[in-house]
Amino acid sequence: TQACLTAIDAADALGAFVHKTPEIALEQARAADARLAQGDAPAMCGLPIGIKDLFCTKGVPSQAASRILQGFRPEYNSTVGQQLEDAGAVMLGKLNMDEFAMGSSNETSVYGNVINPWRRGNEDTALTPGGSSGGSAAAVSADLCLAATGTDTGGSIRQPAAFTGITGIKPTYGRCSRWGIVAFASSLDQAGPMTKDVRDAAIMLQAMCGHDPKDSTSADLPVPDFESMLTGDIRGKVIGIPREYRMDGMPAEIEKLWADGTAMLRDAGAEVRDISLPHTKYALPAYYVIAPAEASSNLARYDGVRYGHRATLAQGDDITDMYEKTRAEGFGHEVQRRIMVGTYVLSAGFYDAYYNRARRVRTLIKRDFETVFADGIDAILTPATPSAAFGLGEMGQDDPVQMFLNDVFTVTVNLAGLPGISVPAGLDGKGLPLGLQLIGRPWEEGDLLNTAYALE
């Protein structure tokens, strides 16, 4: 813990930690020492981790990287955060992220950018660590903590993991409680671990899973011992390679990465089959209707009354002025764009044309996966991202859709509620890490982790 705290202080320039909690960390570390001395050590006893700013942490600022939550110190821990604490984990502090987890580059944070610890060849260009869990990814990659929590609504664990050479798993929707995690799009959001390798992911995920009566969508299912399932034996497993993910203009390096990963799984004794997920091309448009729709509803609670920031009012301003001024000042541009898009697609005149249609598309995407799983596919292998990490300011400045395209391989998994993992799979020609994604059957994270373990 002390070594991490020192490393964190030395790495302020990365912008990964937005709030440090050394007193809490040292107190928890001492308690962990005492438990270890008594021979009563839970699974994560004394392991120093970082917590994404989207998680409510008792008495500690929890702002979802937004101005509108300035000054908010929750009275409680998120369920997942509490479970990690109960498992002995030590909290080093809160990690930077895109505002309300909306983004793919961590550039929408009120705290400013996070710098990817990796460099493109000999260039000085600062690269993004991806997003929205950019602080988590950079912190783990730069050895500021052993692991970090992330959340993934459309790829926010897997894409930053791929951009920084670490492992990140989004579990099946309902595996981890969402209680106490600031909501973005409630039907898509899931928490998960971001770690240095698959074994750490298995151990940390174990601590984060389980039924929570405070989240009505959390599943009341037994949680298997994920670590004990890491045998590396994948003989006889059937891996699907979806042809629709072979996009036009895909960089040759990504093609090669995918082919190499496929060969590795085949060499390990898996059977590889070409499969089709025909509705893949509708996933991004459906996601960028459904996620903003849910966000516009979830973000209605930030009204200047209940939490955080309130605008200074002029003489004669009424309550509507208070709402308007507070929300105009408190939300950044990307969040405002999502609220407007979401409100539009939910409005009476457009609800059927956009929101309902997107929901029907979502069902078709889910069925695509159900069909291949019913045909015997155990896991699906794809690239995690269409490129390696890009430079700060390089993407989406004039056209937000350019940024949205980064999520092309990840959003299908959230729409279908499936578990997905990104594992580091090598470097591109300029020495930047690239990730491969494995998508598993619902509730079979143990199997998925084991397949990822074989790929590691």
Residues of this chain that interact with ligand GLN (CB under 6 A) are: 101-104, 132, 152-156, 184, 291, 407
Measured from the CB atom, the residue of 102 and 219 that comes closer to ligand GLN is 102
Partners of residue 240 on adjacent β-strands: 273, 380
Q: Which is nearer to ligand GLN, 99 or 444 (CB)?
A: 99
CB of 408 to ligand GLN, least distance (A): 11
Map 199-229 to HEC letters.
HHHHHHHHHHECCCCCCCCCCCCCCCCCHHH
Helix (H) or strand (E) holding 319: helix 319-330
What three-state secondary structure class fits 34?
helix
Closer to ligand GLN by Cβ: residue 1 or 96 = 96
Q: CA–CA separation, 35 vs 405, rounded Å?
A: 47
SS3 content of the chain, % helix, strand, coil (to 5): 40, 15, 45
Q: Considering the complex, what minimum distance in angstroms separates the CB of residue 417 from ligand GLN? A: 14
CA distance readout (Å), 217 to 6, 174, 178, 355, 360 = 40, 6, 8, 21, 20
Nearer to ligand GLN (CB atom), residue 184 or residue 373 = 184
Nearest-approach distance from CB 169 to ligand GLN, in angstroms = 13
Residue type at 414? N
- Which CB sits closer to ligand GLN, 83 or 159? 159
The phi, psi pair for 237, rounded to 5°, reads -70, 145
Q: What residues are annotated to the active site?
A: 52, 132, 156
- Minimum Å gap between C-beta 35 and ligand GLN is 34
CB of 100 to ligand GLN, least distance (A): 8
Compute the distance between CA of residue 153 and CA of residue 164 in angstroms, rounded to an integer: 19
Q: How far is the CB of 230 from ligand GLN (least distance, A)?
A: 26
CA distances for 273 relative to 117, 149, 265, 266, 375, angstroms: 37, 34, 12, 10, 11
- How many angstroms separate the CA atoms of 240 and 238, rounded? 7
Of 253 and 407, the one with the shorter C-beta distance to ligand GLN is 407
